[in-house]
Amino acid sequence: MSRPLIYAANWKMNHGPGAARSFMARFLAVTEPAPERALWFFPPAVSLTPVAEAASARPDIRVGAQNVHWEPKGAFTGEVSIPMVQEAGARVVLTGHSERRHLFGETDEQVARKAVAVLKAGLQPLACLGETLAEREGGRTEHAILRQLDPLLDKVPPADWARLVLAYEPVWAIGTGRNATPDDAAQVHELIRFTVGRRGVPGRVPILYGGSVNAGNVLALLARPELDGVLVGGASLDADGWAELVGLG
């Protein structure tokens, strides 16, 4: 694949500091930087520093937080702020992952607020969008995507648009073993790209696909030029398995 690709690993609530250190030692031993391939890691907040330190000599690796609060500090027990994750080594932040939206009740409005705060702090948001199974089966995929995308485009200042990265993650495909077909994924990526372009966002906003990506389906997905990379949960948890997957493209 000759275009630049982003392979993003979302470890969710796996790999504390010790396990993260061991993972990175193994992963770095079996991989080398490759042109046109960026590797993004989203460990739990407590493992940001070990991952960032381990990857400090690897310019192809970027470390990111799975979640942040939009306020820089204050009485928000249990939350972490953008300056905190930045100090711990994060340069990217996941916003609006479906587990945050559906398990923790984050609204489209809150997700947009987080993305704006991340951009304002000079970091990059990887903003996730995706329809539920009921929305897909009810023919409301487009509606669901636009409902999540519009508040984001409304709130993010045009000057920051160039730093946006999006991920299409159908909720029914996350952690289920049932990935979207390359055609389905490409169709929604086209919709997102069309919408972003119609709103006046210049250039090509990278759009990753996420949802049960593994070593067996990644090549067929990335064969579609509409996809600029993948966001991977389960298949990113084993260092050798993740090294194999990122080496396939």
Token pair of 113, please?
Answer: 């607020």
Q: Give backbone dihedrals phi and psi of 62, rounded to 5 degrees, phi first.
A: -125, 140
Q: Is 190 a catalytic residue?
A: no
With CA atoms as reference, report the closest residue to 175 among 224, 231, 244. 231
Taking a C-beta distance cutoff of 8 angstroms, is the pair 171, 130 a contact? yes
Min separation Cβ 144 and ligand PEP, Å: 17
Looking at residues 69 to 88 of the shown chain, list those that interact with ligand PEP (rule: CB under 6 A).
none
Is residue 232 involved in binding ligand PEP (CB under 6 A)? yes
Nearer of residues 201 and 215 to ligand PEP, judged by Cβ: 215
Looking at residues 5 to 44 of the shown chain, list those that interact with ligand PEP (rule: CB under 6 A).
10, 12
Nearer of residues 25 and 27 to ligand PEP, judged by Cβ: 27
Catalytic residue (one of 106, 131, 135, 169): 169
Taking a C-beta distance cutoff of 8 angstroms, is the pair 169, 127 a contact? no
**Interface with ligand PEP by CB under 6 A: which range of 55-63, 110-118, 199-207, 232-240?**
232-240
Angle, vertex CA 248, rays to CA 243 and CA 230, nearest 5: 80
**Interface with ligand PEP by CB under 6 A: which range of 57-65, 117-125, 219-227, 229-237?**
229-237
Is residue 174 involved in binding ligand PEP (CB under 6 A)? yes
CB closest to ligand PEP, residue no: 233
Q: Is 53 a catalytic residue?
A: no
Is residue 212 involved in binding ligand PEP (CB under 6 A)? yes
What character string, x for contact with ligand PEP (CB under 6 A) and - otherwise, covers 134-173? -----------------------------------x----
Task: Out of 55, 123, 171, 231, name the contact with ligand PEP by CB under 6 A.
Answer: 231
**Interface with ligand PEP by CB under 6 A: which range of 71-79, 188-196, 220-228, 231-239?**
231-239
Taking a C-beta distance cutoff of 8 angstroms, is the pair 237, 196 a contact? no
- The catalytic site residues sit at 97, 169
What is the contact surface with ligand PEP in residues (CB under 6 A)? 10, 12, 97, 169, 174-175, 210-213, 231-235
